[in-house]
Chain A
Amino acid sequence: DAGVIQSPRHEVTEMGQEVTLRCKPISGHDYLFWYRQTMMRGLELLIYFNNNVPIDDSGMPEDRFSAKMPNASFSTLKIQPSEPRDSAVYFCASSFLGRLSGGYTFGSGTRLTVV
C-alpha cells in the first residue's frame, strides 16, 4: 500500500489566492482527518470525516476554510482567500476504526507558504 498520499508537497501562493490541498487515504479506511501544524499552535485537528461524511468541523478556523470528501478515495481542503497566517504544514490522516490497534496513518504533509 502506498500509504496516505498528499499533494502538492509544497505550495507557495500570494495572499488572496485560492489554495487547494489534496489527499488520497488508504483504501478501506473509513475515517479521514485534516490537521494543521505550526510552531505556535502545534498539531490542530481541523475536520474529520466518516464514510465521506463530515463529522466534526469545529477545528476549522474560519469560513475561508472548507473541506470536502466526494468519495472514499479523495478529499480536498480549500482555503479561499488565503492569508499569511495560514502558512503551516497541513497533514491528512486516515484510519479504519474497526481495529483501533493500528493507529492513524499520516501523509507526508503539504507545506503551505502564503506571502
Chain B
Amino acid sequence: SQQGEEDPQALSIQEGENATMNCSYKTSINNLQWYRQNSGRGLVHLILIRSNEREKHSGRLRVTLDTSKKSSSLLITASRAADTASYFCATVVDSSYKLIFGSGTRLLVRP
C-alpha cells in the first residue's frame, strides 16, 4: 500500500523555472526520502531528511519537512531539460526499515 500522495500528479514548466512538488503521508516516520526515476530506468536517491529536520539542501534541490502536517516539499531551482523525470517521495516508518513510496509527480521541463 502507498504511504504518500503527491501533488501535482504532473507538472510542466519552462527551462529555468523552479519546480515544486508536494508530498503528504499518513503515519509517523523516521525519515523521508526523495527519488527520481527517468523513463524506463531505476530509481535514483536524491535526498533524505530526518524527522527532526525541517529543511535540507543539496545543489539545486531544497527539501522541507513539516511533521505536524505530515507533509514535505521538493523544490528544484533553475530547472533543466535533463530534470524531466518522475519524482517520488518515500517514507521510512518508525521502528522499521520499510521504504514506502508515494504515487509520484511527472515533471516535464520544456527546453
| Interface residues in chain A, defined as those with a beta carbon under 8 Å from any beta carbon in chain B | 4, 31, 33, 35, 42-45, 48, 50, 55-56, 91, 93, 95, 97, 100-109
Contact = CB atoms under 8 A, between A and B. Distances in A.
Interface string B32-63: 01010000011111111010000000000000
A25 B42 CA distance: 14
A2 to B, nearest CB: 13
Would you call the interface of chain A mostly helix, strand, loop, or mixed? Answer: strand
Nearest to A108: B42
B69 interface: no
A42 B99 contact: no
A43 B50 CA distance: 22
Would you call the interface of chain B mostly helix, strand, loop, or mixed? Answer: strand
A35 B2 CA distance: 12
Contact of B45 (A31, A91, A97, A104): A104
A25 B75 CA distance: 31
B99 A33 contact: yes
